[in-house]
Chains A and B, each alone.
Chain A
Amino acid sequence: MNEVLEREQKVAEAPVKIEKAKIKKVLIICSKGKIEDVYAALVMANGALMEGIEARMFFTFFGLEAITKRHADHLHTATVGNPAFMPGLPTMVAGLPGFEAFASYMMKKEMDKLDMPHVTEFLQMIEAGGGEIYACKLAADMFHLKQEDFVPEVKGIITVGDMYALADGEGTQIIFI
């Protein structure tokens, strides 16, 4: 019994070496096309670059909207099925025609006040900072999107296997949105 206690004490006293492992690279996967989700991905990717962390972005499913020439700067928020959006607002009202567009317009206005760039400019900033942006092949095929449908910062349309290769290396974190 005493032996066990002694051993436990020894284990507890053993100096714990915790090395500060720095994040070297982030791979941010954006699977959603709502304005707030896309901005979360963009802010984190750009924020990583600002800290000297490598950043790769992979857009898939509805997230692809954020990198299309047609829709990148015209993303909406969801006013229906989003309980945090104006709590107490009846779903029927939030679903009225034009309501979502109006709410998204107001949101973008607030973002402009904070000097937040539009999506296309944000993507340009990320590319200029050395970040890389990719589209998901499976989702692009599903939505019938081709390289020419995407903004020029999109480096390629890649498979899930290629996506994991982007996360190669020690100190990489994958963030899914």
Chain B
Amino acid sequence: METLVFNETKIDVNEEGYLKNPAQWTPELAHELAREVNITLTDKHFEVLNWLRAKHAEGVALSIRKMGNSGIVDIKQFYGLFPGGPLKISSKIAGIPKPVSCI
């Protein structure tokens, strides 16, 4: 198991850098993870991240389409907030597993 040390706390991640335990996530960690992919998080980003975390906790299989229908962002804005693969990047920053959706 790989670990990431952040603020002297050990965080378990998989080989691709996705958090193994969403409970270890903090907003400060999100800022750090976002910095690695050159994203500066805004309130809008956090709205998306919180929505993703809530849906993941409910056991919903996430997709770009569902994010687009969330009422928080449309698909275009979602791509704008997390350029270069929005669902994967946002999931990683949100501390939830890598999405498995094909759509």
A residues near B (Cβ < 8 Å) are: 43, 46-47, 49-52, 115-117, 121, 124-125, 128-130
Contact check, B75 vs A128: say whether CB atoms are below 8 A apart.
yes
B48 within 8 A of A: no
Interface of B is mostly: helix
Of the candidates B68, B74, B86, the one whose C-beta lies within 8 Å of that of A50 is B86
CA distance A125 to B64 in the complex (A): 9
Q: Chain B residues near A116 (CB, 8 Å)?
A: 103
CA distance A43 to B64 in the complex (A): 12
Q: Chain A residues near B87 (CB, 8 Å)?
A: 50
User: 8 interchain pairs (CB within 8 A)?
Assistant: A51-B88, A52-B83, A52-B85, A115-B65, A115-B103, A116-B103, A128-B68, A128-B76
Contact check, A52 vs B84: say whether CB atoms are below 8 A apart.
yes
B5 within 8 A of A: no
Contact check, A117 vs B65: say whether CB atoms are below 8 A apart.
yes
Contact check, A125 vs B75: say whether CB atoms are below 8 A apart.
yes
Contact check, A51 vs B74: say whether CB atoms are below 8 A apart.
no
Q: Chain A residues near B75 (CB, 8 Å)?
A: 124-125, 128-129
Contact check, A50 vs B65: say whether CB atoms are below 8 A apart.
no
